[in-house]
Amino acid sequence: VLPFGVDKLHVFDAPGLFPYTSLPHSSILINLFKEEKPQICLMGATVIGRDLGPRVSSALTSGLTADCTSLEIGNHEDKKEGKVYENLLYQIRPAFGGNIVATIVNPEHRPQMATVREGVMKKEILDADYKGEVINHDVAKYVPETDYVVKVIDRHVEKAKHNLKGAPIVIAGGYGMGSKEGFDMLFELAKELHAEVGASRAAVDAGYADHDRQIGQTGVTVRPKLYIDENAPINTIADYVINGTVEEVIPKMIKYYKSHSK
C-alpha cells in the first residue's frame, strides 16, 4: 500500500486476528485512535467495514456516515453558533431512498468517520518507489484476551452469481422494460456481448429484476467501459447514438452480434 501515498503503515499481526472477528479488530482501532488521534477515518463499505466502523465510532462517540459515494474537504460555517470550521470532511451520500443527496459534516468530534461504497473511488499509485514508515505493534497491548472468545470453526463462501462491479460492459434496463420478459431480451444481448445486466430501482421494485442487479446511488456502483443508456449525458456530444424502443433495437442487436461473433 505504500506506493499509494501511505506515510505511516501500522501493522498488527497475530494468529487470533484471522479469520476476522469483531472484538479484536475493534479493540485495535479504538486503542490506536486514542493514541494517534487521527482527524479522519475511512473504511470500505464492505461486510467487514460495515461491522467494524459502527463499533469503533460508538466506542469513541465520534459518529459515522455510512455508504458515502463522494468525499470532499472544505470549510463549514455554523451560523447558529457563530463558528467557522476549517478543513472538515464532507461526507456525501444518498438519503431518503436515493431521492436526495445529503452532505454530512462532523465539526466537533474526532475522528470524522465514514464508510465508502465500493467502486466510487479510483485506485491510483502516487509513486511506485514511495517509502513510508512501517510500524509493527504488539497486538497483546491493544487486545485483551477476553476479545478472543469467538472462534471461527469453518467458513462457507458462496461464489457471486455475477460481477456487476467489475464488468467492462453493462446493459441496464429500467421500469420501461415492462416485465421480466422484457429483461430476458437484455440477458440474451448480454450473453452475446459478454456483458452484465443491471436494473434501475424502479425495475427492481416492480419485480422485473433481482435486487442484486440494482445499480445507481441505491444499488451497486459500476464503472463499465460501455454503458448503454438512452438518457446518458454523453449522448449530447456522442458521434453516434442508437435511439429506439426496446422491442425495435434489442432484437436487431442480438441478431447482429450472433452473426458477427467469432
Q: What is the pLDDT of residues 176-190, one digit of tens each?
A: 888 998 899 999 988
Residue (of 53, 25, 27) closest to 40 by Cα position: 53
Q: What is the pLDDT of residue 172?
A: 86
**Is 214 labeled as ligand-binding?**
yes
200 is in an annotated binding site: yes
Residue with cell 444518498: 94
Average pLDDT for residues 2-25, to the nearest whole number?
92
- For the chain, which residues make up each domain, given as ranges? 2-149, 169-260
Are 2-149 and 169-260 in the same CATH fold? yes
**Rounded distance between C-alpha atoms, residue 48 and residue 17, angstroms:** 13
Determine whether 197 is exposed, middle or buried from the number of CB atoms within 10 Å of its CB (0-12, 13-18, 19+).
buried
Position 200 pLDDT exceeds 80? yes
In the structure, what pLDDT confidence band is assigned to residue 110 with cuts at 50, 70 and 90? very high
Specify the higher pLDDT residue, 35 or 219.
Answer: 35
Half-sphere exposure of 248 (CA within 13 A, CB side): 4
Q: Which fold does the domain 169-260 belong to in CATH?
A: Rossmann fold (3.40.50)
Tell me: is residue 201 an annotated ligand-binding position: yes
Which tens digits make up the pLDDT trace of 10-20? 999 998 898 89
pLDDT of residue 230: 65
pTM value? 0.67
Separation of CA 174 from chain center: 22
Predicted confidence (pLDDT) per residue in 35-61, tens digit: 999 999 999 988 899 999 999 999 999
In this predicted structure, what is the pLDDT of residue 29? Answer: 96
**Architecture of domain 2-149 in CATH?**
3-Layer(aba) Sandwich (3.40)
Output the nine-digit C-alpha cell for 119.
Answer: 467502486
